[in-house]
Chains A and B, each alone.
Chain A
């Protein structure tokens, strides 16, 4: 384990050296060298220039993720429980899955303006489907023996949902959440690409306009770090919730 981590660090160092070697003969406009990028990154961070943009993008991600996942979870549970509702809505869910949702971004900007609302709506819509689908599947395919057990124990439908179907489906539901988190970053950034003056996505577009490639690279690095932190957060949440499901299995 230690050895792998060591080699992993070494690989990063080699990549940085490679980057430097390739970038040296090139114009800063095409490929800035790592040194230049890190100076730019440091300047932006220490002067507080990046801060409002970072906060804006994070707010959009968090809001969109919470709204989208909550709606997806609730509709998934309802559709899993109520047969009529599932058969009524499912064809439309499939149809709306086929629509590339990022292509709807310009429309949402038209509807909700250049402010934060349009980005939150886009992000929420993108996060909605993975959670809906995974929750629906999890609720529908609960182990029939466990359902029989709850039937014998005289559990009500609500009890069966709360004490059996949702906890039993939690691993699948959290797998959907993981997908949603990754898509949320894409949703927010693409929303900012299309309209808006704040946020990391807008900053990328602005740097393109100013032909400031070092700035673009430093924003990309910020986005990468943010994505990794989010991923880490998801791992923490999963570990917290799924601790008991995994015990003894991953030994």
Chain B
């Protein structure tokens, strides 16, 4: 049994047809999975099911062999919208997961600053979310998901609002951080190159199902040049083609 296992999951919102249909998905410890698909195909719903935020109508979710009934506090989750608390400063937002339980200690305060630095928003530390751009807000949300050093990360299009150059930097930082801590990641994106660059496995979702799962055979240590490598581009092309095959 894997680290996180989805076993024949079904889900439909009240009064609607099935949004997620019979998804079986196995994720091993330390793996980086991308979930790729057009908008509305059910990616967010599947991620919420995997995290335990939604309960499947049929099928089960297992976390290290134990059935999941509610979200574990060992996970980090980044919602599709930044979901920051407008009445708290950027720094207090990042520390929220800890301050809900107790007063953060000096080590945690330091780590919060390190994360803000990594995300390139340390100068915004004492500002309020409404004073930040969309991309900066997303980065606050990512820092918040990382503050407790979770063993599993769920990221729902975290870089969607970030400009292309910053995004490449953030991708490298995220990869480094996850490799250092052996974090298991599910990352939703609609960008094929982003998916291939980041992940070990790319799952293609369409119409509520995972229709294909590609292995990415690139060295763990990613570098800028790989984006122009022939294997990289062939894989992107293959994925792109499988998409048009699926949708027609």
Contact = CB atoms under 8 A, between A and B. Distances in A.
A248 B130 contact: yes
B100 A159 contact: yes
Nearest to A164: B85
A248 B79 contact: no
A155 B77 contact: no
B87 interface: yes
A153 B100 contact: yes
A134 B97 CA distance: 29
B130 A146 contact: no
B63 to A, nearest CB: 13
Nearest to A159: B100
Contacts of B51: 152
A170 B81 CA distance: 21
Interface stretch (B67-75, B112-120, B187-195, B196-204): B67-75
Which of A146, A164, A168, A248 neighbours the largest number of chain B CB atoms within 10 Å of its CB? A248
Interface residues of A, number: 23
A150 B85 CA distance: 11
B79 A244 contact: no
A153 B85 CA distance: 14
A163 B99 CA distance: 10
A247 B88 CA distance: 12
Given A152-B51, A154-B73, A145 B81 contact: yes
Nearest to B154: A152
Given A246-B130, A247-B131, A153 B96 contact: yes
Given A163-B100, A246-B130, A247-B128, A151 B85 contact: no
A211 interface: no
Interface in A127-186: 143, 145-146, 148-155, 159, 163-164, 167-168, 170
Contact of A249 (B48, B70, B130): B130
B133 to A, nearest CB: 10
Contacts of B71: 151-152, 154
Q: Top 9 nearest A-B pairs by Cβ distance?
A: A248-B131, A154-B73, A248-B130, A152-B71, A145-B83, A244-B128, A247-B128, A167-B87, A145-B79
Interface of A: 143, 145-146, 148-155, 159, 163-164, 167-168, 170, 244-249
Given A154-B71, A244-B130, A248-B128, 20 more contacts: A143-B83, A148-B77, A149-B77, A149-B83, A151-B53, A152-B51, A152-B53, A164-B85, A168-B85, A168-B86, A170-B87, A244-B86, A244-B89, A244-B128, A245-B86, A245-B87, A247-B130, A247-B131, A248-B131, A248-B132
